[in-house]
Chain A
Amino acid sequence: MWFGIIRNWTVLFLMGGLIGLVLPQVDSSQLSPAEIIDKVDHMLRGDSSQGRVEMAVVTRRWERNITMEIWSEGTEKALIKVLQPKKEAGTTTLKVGSDMWNYLPKIDRTIRVPTSMMMGSWMGSHFTNDDLVKESRLIRDYEIEIVYEGDREGIEVYEFQLTPHPEAPVVWGKMLYQVRKGDLMPTWAEYYGEDGELKRTMTFSDYREMSGRLVPTRSRMVPQDKPEEYTEMIYHELHFDIPIPKGTFSLSSLRR
């Protein structure tokens, strides 16, 4: 009996050696899936960023175009201020960690978004408040693995599957995420509910250089249950790693 166990160990050692020989050739970039996602995220965000973005929301009932200015620092802080249309100019959203506030100039009030409203729509778009708070936490909240690597329509890509950690406070059951291998540009992301059903699709396009960095300047979110509707974000201006004035991400800056 002892003999048998020792023999099995030998087999394991032999197999381990073989895997060790094969693996380095497969993972050419030497990065773990989580590290790749982190890298993609950082490329699109920088240490800090400032930009002007247009959000087009198209629903069955109405269409709206909002121009906004965005500041961000790291993954935890962001300030978004509406410039156009006139009626809503000055409306500002502040995100710090998992907290979120909206400033409404018409009534001159700052309102903290309560947990119960996190799933509500943000500024009438197909994004929820929760999306804004959670977007930067993929590596923390999800188990990331590569489910496909290779050629898709002539382009070498990675396809990641993101499965939430058991305790993670997320609303998705799973996410699929495609990234071009050559320049690590995202091409699409699919969001699945806890029942495993596709809930919405985000597609990235119009890759352009902005402040010396390649970024997808257009991203479109389509809810699966309303395929004729979408929200599109178009970057018109984007600067990275610029100094952001102290106090930008504070409640007092919301009114300015």
Chain B
Amino acid sequence: MIALRLGWRNLWRNSRRSLITISAVGCGYAFLIVLIGLTVGMAGQMLKNGTGLLMGDLQLHHSDYLPERSLYDTIGSNSSSELEEVLHQLSLYPQLAGRSPRVYGFGLLSTGENSAGARLMGVDPQVELGVSSFLSGLQAGALDDSVERSLLLGDALARELEASIGSQVAIVTQAADGSLGNDLFLVSGILHTGLSYVDRSLAVLYLADLQELLVLSPNEVHEIAVKIGDPMAADAFAARLNASENWPANTVAQSWGELAPQLKDYVGLSQGMYGFIIMIIGLFTATGVLNTMMMAVFERSREIGLVSALGMPPLLIVSSILLESLFLGILGLIGGFGLGAWGMSYLTTQGLDLSRWMGELSMLGTRMDPVLKASWGWDYVIWSALGLLLATLLAALFPAVKAARLNPVQALSAPVEG
């Protein structure tokens, strides 16, 4: 108890110096909170865009479909009930938030004067909206079931074809039976995702229309995109599906991490970076604390010599100095948390507007929002607080031990401070 009181009192003997050190610890911690917040926010945003825009948390394919994406490797190519069975199996899991069967093809689109190759994607828009957001970001229009053979075009593709809503577009493709599948479609919407490779090359059709064009049966799809809400649980969910008993042998579930390893690497890398940042800032803080405590012990060496000559046990001297440093750290952390939380309250709501420096940017195949919003990474905030406290304690350990070892005679004969 006496050590606590001693530590607390000693802290305020040179209040200006202590306040400076406290504010250094505080600024360091506030900086960490904001930096971690921004990094967590960015990783979360990338993950959300990467999986939520188009990919889904996981995808199911015929085991041979990737990477060649052959027209023939469909879920449903083995038996007509396969697709139904897969969808039924999926529906048994309560964590399933949505699933959307998709068909892909490649075709030549033409408006007469202009033609362009495009990736054809067939979806059921109602179901697709439960998995991905790319259809909700339509610049204009939507797939329209009141017209025959409705079509959405990526905005850059539409510009290339000089097509707009209401244009007729002929699609020619190699169908599954070897014939030349061809039909006329009506542009009923323009798509903008911000991902240039999608906007430049994607044409979205009704699932049934594309199956007909490609001469595929209604029971055949190339992909089922699945949403479970938490991307971090995707690996485990994919593993459970693949291991489940009635799962069709040729159907494989893969998480976003397997489908887009670069995205997974990025998330892993940013987590590794938090540790590094905490370490660097911890080091700076420790140096500041070390300096303060060294000064404190040096100033008080006469006094410490006196109390130890009067019989104060060395352990008490050590703990009083350590506690003084601990107070320094705790006060710094409290102030720093307040400052950091104030910054975060702005960054989580308003975000950091980077649009001045970058236009529409995509990185690693996912779109980056121009406004970077931070989000609280509580694990890292707590870990960095503990890290900083440990750093202040370690920094005080050396001066404390030094103080306890002072020879009272030498200490008392040292010149008076000031």
Chain A interface residues (CB < 8 Å from chain B):
57, 59, 61-64, 87-88, 91, 102, 104, 106-107, 109-114, 116-117, 120-121, 123-124
Is the pair B108, A117 in contact by a Cβ cutoff of 8 Å? yes
Using A109-B110, A111-B115 as known contacts, say yes or no to A104 and B178 having CB atoms under 8 A apart: no
Judge whether A64 and B172 touch: CB under 8 Å: no
- Whether B177 is near chain A, meaning CB under 8 Å from some CB there, is yes
- Interface size of B by CB at 8 A reads 18
B112 in the interface (beta carbon within 8 A): yes
Of the listed stretches B45-53, B180-188, B255-263, name the one at the interface; the rest are far from the partner chain: B180-188
> Which residues of chain A are within 8 angstroms of B117 by Cβ–Cβ distance?
114, 116-117, 120
CA distance A120 to B180 in the complex (A): 12
Of all chain B residues, the one with the shortest Cβ separation from A108 is B184
Is B170 in contact with chain A by the CB < 8 A criterion?
yes
In the bound complex, residues from chain A placing their C-beta under 8 Å from that of B178 are 57, 59, 61-64, 124
Point out the residues of chain B lying under 8 angstroms from A61, CB to CB.
Answer: 72, 176, 178
Chain A contacts for B176, CB-based, 8 A = 61-62
Q: Tell me the dominant secondary structure on chain A's binding face.
A: mixed
The contact string, 1 if C-beta is below 8 Å from chain A, for chain B 82-116, is 00000000000000000000000000101010011
Mark B244-278 against chain A: 1 for CB-CB distance below 8 A, else 0: 00000000000000000000000000000000000
Report the separation of the CA atoms of residues A198 and B170 in the bound assembly, to the nearest whole angstrom.
36
Looking at the assembled complex, report how far the CB atom of A156 sits from the nearest CB atom of chain B, in whole angstroms: 40
> Closest residue to A60 on the B side, CB-wise?
B72
Cβ contact of B182, chosen from A64, A104, A124, cutoff 8 A: A104
The count of A-to-B residue pairs whose CB atoms sit within 8 angstroms is 60
Docked CA distance A106–B176 (Å): 18
Chain B residues within 8 Å of A91, by CB: 180
Q: A91-B180, A107-B170 are in contact. List 16 more A-B contacts (CB 8 A).
A: A61-B176, A61-B178, A62-B178, A64-B178, A102-B172, A104-B180, A109-B110, A109-B112, A109-B170, A114-B117, A116-B116, A116-B117, A120-B117, A124-B174, A124-B178, A124-B179
One of B110, B174, B182 near A106 (C-beta < 8 A): B182
CB of A112 within 8 A of CB of B180, answer no
Q: Quick check: A123 and B180 within 8 Å, CB to CB?
A: yes
Q: Which residues of A contact B177 (CB under 8 A)?
A: 62, 64
